[in-house]
Structure formats: C-alpha cells, structure tokens
Structure 1
Amino acid sequence: MKVTIIAGARPNFMKIAPVIAAIQEKQQEGYDISFRLVHTGQHYDKNMSHSFFEQLGIPEPDANLEAGGGTQAEQTANIMVRFEKELLTNPCDLLLVVGDVTSTLACAIVAKKMKIRVAHVEAGIRSGDITMPEEINRLVTDSITDYFFTTSVVANTNLQKEGKTNTQIFFVGNTMIDTLLKQRSRFTPPAIWQQAGLQPRQYFVMTLHRPANVDEENNLGLLINEIMGNSRELPVIFPVHPRTAKNLEKIAVNHPRLHLVEPLGYLEFNYLVENAKAVITDSGGITEETTVMGVPCMTLRDSTERPETCITGTNELLGTDPKALAPAMQRLFDGKWKEGAIPALWDGKTAERIVAHLIELFAVKQQPVVVI
C-alpha cells in the first residue's frame, strides 16, 4: 500500500509526524505499507529548518512543490497543477491530508479526479463561519473525502448530518496531541524566558493573527490596550505573526510589559504555554494544546471549530469585543477559572489507530520478517 501524505503549513507537520512514525513502526513489523511525504510549499517558514524536522522526527519531504505566494486562487491553482504532475510521476493508493489549509483542499480535489481515495485527518470540525477560508476548505474537502479520521464525537455528528456513513467515520483522537505528549519532556525555554525574567504562572502568552482581530488598526489597538490594562503587572509575551507585525507598526504599540518576539520553535513556544498563567489567542490549535496542559485559555473569536476545548477543556470563547476581556481576567485572577479535563482519546495513540484502520481498510498484509 502506497500512501502520499500532504503537508502545506507548519501546523500540518505537527499533525503528520506521529502518522509517519506509526507507518514506520508497521513497516518494521513487516507490513507492506509505505509513504511519500509531499510538502506543497504553501507557507514559507524560516523556522522550518532541518532542526525542526529532526526535533519532531520527520524525514525531509520527498518533494517540495514550492507553490507558495499569490492570492488564494493563484495558490490553489499552483498547488493543483504541480501536485497533479507529482501524482502522475509517483502514483499512490491513498492520499492522506490533514487540517484545513489550502493544500488540504487543493490536493484532495486533484486526487479524487485521478480516482485516488482520500483520507482526511481532523475531519468533520466546523466553526459555522463560512467567512473563514479554513471553513470553506473543511467543507469542500470533506464533501469528497472517502475516510474521515475525527478528533471528537462532535465532529462525527457533523459528518453524519452531512450524509457520511458510519463505515466512513473513524473516531481516533487528535494527532496534534500525539506530538505534544511525545515532545513534552523536551520543551525548552526560549531566550525571552531569561531576558524578561519570567517565572512560572507569572506571565501571559498571546497570539493573534485572524483578520477580525488584526486587520482593523483601531480594533487591534483597543484589544491590546484591554489586554495590557487587565493583566495587572504581569508580562505579556507576544510571538508576532507577520500579518500582525505590519499593523502593530502602524499603530506604534508601546507597553513596557508587552514583549514582541519573533515566531518561536515548537519546543520553545510550548514551554512558554505550559508555564503561562493563561493564553490569549485566536488560534484553534493552541486551544487544544492548552486543554491538554491544563492552562487557562481565552479565545478571541465568535465561534470555534473545536467546541470540546470549551465543553471539556480549559478554553473559553470570549468573542471579538475587547470589553469581554475584563470580566474573564477578573475570574482568572480570582482563581475561578475552570479546571477542565482532557477529551476522549487525546491520549497520544491517535496515529496508531489511524494506521491500524488503513491496514484493515486496504487489507495490507504482514510479510514474514526475516531476521539475519
């Protein structure tokens, strides 16, 4: 069985790392299963160096389509054209896509038109906000996917409502959490830890990148002023997304307790998160990680595709009105934030379950292992 695995942006690599490890383990057991890793090049990230792949145990991609840049339409078209050539040269039995980036959508379409079956890891999550590019990617990808590997019962229900059958849906857990649990003992403090004299539970971590929060300069300024005005005397560490950095320059943000830093590596960023008093974010993935690490999380969005982080975990959806921060901060400092729990099957074994299902679905045989 030949599997082509797609990754287009940095979070994708965290999701596919444990899947690759699980396939390699089955190969060692003699199963006839192989993979080809294709990086679409959708996002260029200077932190995606050899050390990044080495840290997460990911082999260097077999191919890089270098399809980044341009508008969303141009990028989608570039990925599709280049990936079609890749599949013609290197055919496979199954395409495995993860998450909800442009590469997920584009490669799924190409594969289906070439009569290749598609499996979607992190399928079925829905925000209900069709203005989000990610939501469009999720809906279109899942409309043509053959096998759905889900992170929650909520995702299962979403897919069932869309007409998917139970024989297509596999509730397996969360591969992001596989990576988190595997790497947790290796988290390491970034330079800002010493530079700012940080102490555990005595600082905030903030990440912002969604248009509703960062594209309108006045709103961004109000949001940061609310955060700094209600975080008492604690430092706020803000790894700045390039999109946000441009607007911060325009409004000349200057708070002595606000530390703007370059985007951090996986091990460094999660060290900060694990030791923070709380995280303020508009990212979906971070809400999953804070839930598992038991860190209070405030999400500055009107909807979330990961409701389990609010229902079960430590996350709370505040909306995009800056005024919602004050009461949330008050509850945090009063020690009244919910403790939360870890969602079902977020146990570090998700990738093992995915590969076991693939072996069963494709009737992959185990060859005799010859010991020399």
Structure 2
Amino acid sequence: MKKIVTILGARPQFIKGAVLSREISKFNDVEEVIVHTGQHYDANMSAVFFDEMKIPQPKYNLAINGLNHGAMTGQMLEKIEAILVDEKPDAVVVFGDTNSTLAGALAAKKLHIKIVHVEAGLRSFNMKMPEEVNRIVTDRISDLLICPTQKAIENLQLEGFSSFDVAIENHGDIMKDAMDFYSVLAKDKSTIFKKTSINKDNFLLATIHRQENTDDRNKLSDIFKSLDAINEFTQVVMPLHPRTKKKLSEYNIDTTITLIDPVGYFDMIMLLTHCKLVATDSGGLQKEAFFNQKHCIIVREETEWIELVNNNFAQLTGPNSDKILDAFHDLNQKKSNFNTNLYGDNVGEKIYTSIKQLIQ
C-alpha cells in the first residue's frame, strides 16, 4: 500500500487536513501518517478535541513551539527528517504557509520524497510576512501544487512555474469542504450564545492578531478607535488573541467593545453564522465570512484572497480608522449575491485523486 506523511502544526491545518483524511478513509487504499509539529500549542487540542472534530490522532507529536522562526524551523526539520527516514513515504503533504509547512517540505526534498503543497500559489506580495517566505519556498520545491483559486495559478505562471517540473492544479479551497462538514456539527456542539451576552444576529465579529497590527501602538490604537465607534451602532464582539490582549495592556488601550476568551472552531462557526459583518486581519476568516454569506472588512493593506475584494464581498482598509468606519457603513447596508462559486466543491476528493496519481 502506498503511504503519505501529512505535516500539520496549527489548528486550522488540522481542520483542513481532516478533509483529506476523510477521503483517505473512504477508499482505504493509501496509508496516512500524521505528524503534529506542535507549532501552535493549544491545551484544548486534547484527545477530546480530535474526537469531537472527527480528526485522526497524530502518530507523532513533536511538541516544538514557543521558539523564534529559525530555531523552530530547524528543530522541526531535524525531527521530521528522522520520521521520514523511518516511515519511507511515497509523498509528504503540507498545508498553507506555517514554519511547519516549510520544514516538512525541506525535509522531504532533501530525502527526494515527493511534496504536495495544498493552498499553493497564494501571494500577499509582502515579503515582511514570514508566511510569504514560507509559501514561496514551499511552492518552488514541491512536485504537486494544489491551488485554491485561478489567481493562485496566475501567480505561479508569472513566477515562471510553467517552466518547472511540477504539476499545477486548481481544485478550489479545501476550507470550503471543512466549513460544509463542521457547520452541521456546530449547531449541536456550540454553546457560545449560552455563555456570553452577545446580541445574537446583531453584532460585528472582529479578530485582530497579526504582529504587523498588534506590535505597533499607533496601528492598534487606530483599529480599536474604529471598533469603539462601530460599537455605538452595532455590538462589536472580539475573541481576544493572547498577543492582542498583552499589547492592549502594554499600550494602555481601553475599549468599549465586547471582549471574550478565544473560542473553539464550533463556537467560531456559530459566531460567523449569526453575525452581521466581519472585521479581521486573518486570512482564513476572510473566506469563512464569505462561506457564511457575510461581508468582511480586511484590516490589512493586502490579501491573498483578492477575489473577495474584486467581487465586492470584502474591502481592504489597513489599520486606518477612517477607512474601517467607511467600510463598515458601506458593507453594513450592502446586499450581495453570495451564490458565486469562488472556491469550488468536493475539493478534498479532487485533491486525493491528484495525490494518488502522483504516487501511483
């Protein structure tokens, strides 16, 4: 039987990886070995988490976290290499743009093992983002690039990938499959509205966590100035990221918005289902807003998911309080047809078929 090793390091990657794992379990003709690097340590990612989310338990947990980029990537590279030597897989599958993604791809490449990169071709064109470096390098050394959008294909073509010995395919965004699957479970599993004072169906959901926003006093102050102003019209609810919480205290920034503890995926789906609008600097949440037919204020200067902006489902504002307010007043009244198929269907099945073709 053919074997693949899947490298995962953050909660969103496990959710995406679970889509592929379900396809593998349907056919039972490929063995999958899951490696959890531990990059995003989360005490909630216990056996209960994997059971409730219907995610296979990792065979390996490397517990590498809390380090600078170089040390983290280096330690992952060393340990993943040892696992690959023992497991002898036919391919290694990596997702997205984390240090775990890069380390898994580098380890595989040096051992001449085929690499599958899911979410390939995305570009922010901001080389100050470590994620941008990770995704560019991973794309360049992969054997199969699974792109989520036509724009991602075009990015690769402009970088000369048509001349490289690599397969490039657009199967859509695997998070679409995940949202479809977990939305059904979330209705029974979520307790977010029972344990909070959120004004259900009449609130803006906000998340801010990127270092480019949190580590700059003026930017973070401007963002919360705008959120406080929006809060006068519509309740603003923010699951507070630990980094953001620390910086708000450090900068002595007070806010009138509703701050809640970080939430699990089921609760986040229910917040997305019932909010009026989303404001975020998260890449994943931009798409999840779209999947839940919600407009999105993108509190960044650029986005990898530019089709959301081009199709008027989202607006880029950066950390500018005036632009954020203008976007709120515009999008809060906007009516859009969200039935546009931007991100495909049955994505996991298509990815699995391509992987089997690669390793046959």
Q: Give the TM-score category using the shorter length.
A: over 0.9
Cα distance per residue 1:135-172 (max 9 Å; x no partner): 00011101101101110011111112222239601111
Question: Within 2, Cα distance between the matches of 1:233 and 1:302?
Answer: 25
Cα distance per residue 1:28-87 (max 9 Å; x no partner): xxx3x1110000111101221223212321111000111112111010111011111111
Q: Give the Å deviation of 1:194.
A: 5.2
Asked if 1:78 corresponds to 2:79, the answer is no
Segments of structure 1 that go 5 or more residues without pairing to the other structure are 364-372
Instruction: Pick closer, same or farther for the CA change 1:332–1:164 going to 2, 3 Å.
Output: closer
Question: Within 2, Cα distance between the matches of 1:289 and 1:295?
Answer: 9
> Deviation above 6 Å: which 4+ runs of structure 1?
none
Please name the residue that 1:177 is paired with.
176
Asked if 1:110 corresponds to 2:99, the answer is no
Asked if 1:128 corresponds to 2:125, the answer is yes
Question: Within 1, Cα distance between the matches of 2:340 and 2:65?
Answer: 36
Q: Give the Å deviation of 1:222.
A: 2.3
Q: Root-mean-square deviation (CA), in Å?
A: 1.8
Instruction: Pick closer, same or farther for the CA change 1:161–1:218 going to 2, 3 Å.
Output: closer
Instruction: Pick closer, same or farther for the CA change 1:345–1:243 going to 2, 3 Å.
Output: closer
Q: Which amino acid aligns with 1:9?
A: A
Cα distance per residue 1:84-131 (max 9 Å; x no partner): 111122110100000100010111011100010100000000011111
Verify the 8 A CA contact 1:313 1:341 in the aligned structure 2.
Answer: no
**What does 1:210-229 correspond to in 2, within 5 Å?**
210-229=210-229
Out of 142, 151, 154, the position equivalent to 1:145 is 142
Cα distance per residue 1:235-257 (max 9 Å; x no partner): 2111111111101112344444x
Verify the 8 A CA contact 1:212 1:320 in the aligned structure 2.
Answer: no
Cα distance per residue 1:261-294 (max 9 Å; x no partner): 1211101011001210111100010111111111
Please name the residue that 2:207 is paired with.
207
Q: Which amino acid aligns with 2:237?
A: I
Asked if 1:155 corresponds to 2:152, the answer is yes
Please name the residue that 2:247 is paired with.
247
Please name the residue that 1:361 is paired with.
358
Q: Give the Å deviation of 1:24.
A: 0.9
Please name the residue that 1:273 is paired with.
272
Aligned length: 355
Question: Within 2, Cα distance between the matches of 1:186 and 1:208?
Answer: 26
Question: Within 2, Cα distance between the matches of 1:160 and 1:67?
Answer: 35
Q: Give the Å deviation of 1:345.
A: 4.6
TM-score (norm 2): 0.94
Out of 333, 336, 345, the position equivalent to 2:334 is 336
Verify the 8 A CA contact 1:291 1:342 in the aligned structure 2.
Answer: no
Q: Give the Å deviation of 1:183.
A: 1.3
Higher RCO (Cα < 8 Å, 6 or more apart)? 1
Question: Within 1, Cα distance between the matches of 2:265 and 2:8?
Answer: 16
Question: Within 2, Cα distance between the matches of 1:338 and 1:228?
Answer: 26
Question: Within 1, Cα distance between the matches of 2:244 and 2:299?
Answer: 15
Please name the residue that 2:161 is paired with.
164
Verify the 8 A CA contact 1:204 1:280 in the aligned structure 2.
Answer: yes
Please name the residue that 1:2 is paired with.
3
Verify the 8 A CA contact 2:176 2:343 in the aligned structure 1.
Answer: no
TM-score (norm 1): 0.91
Q: Which amino acid aligns with 2:37?
A: T
Q: Give the Å deviation of 1:361.
A: 2.7
Please name the residue that 1:366 is paired with.
none
Q: Which amino acid aligns with 2:239?
A: P
Please name the residue that 2:52 is paired with.
55
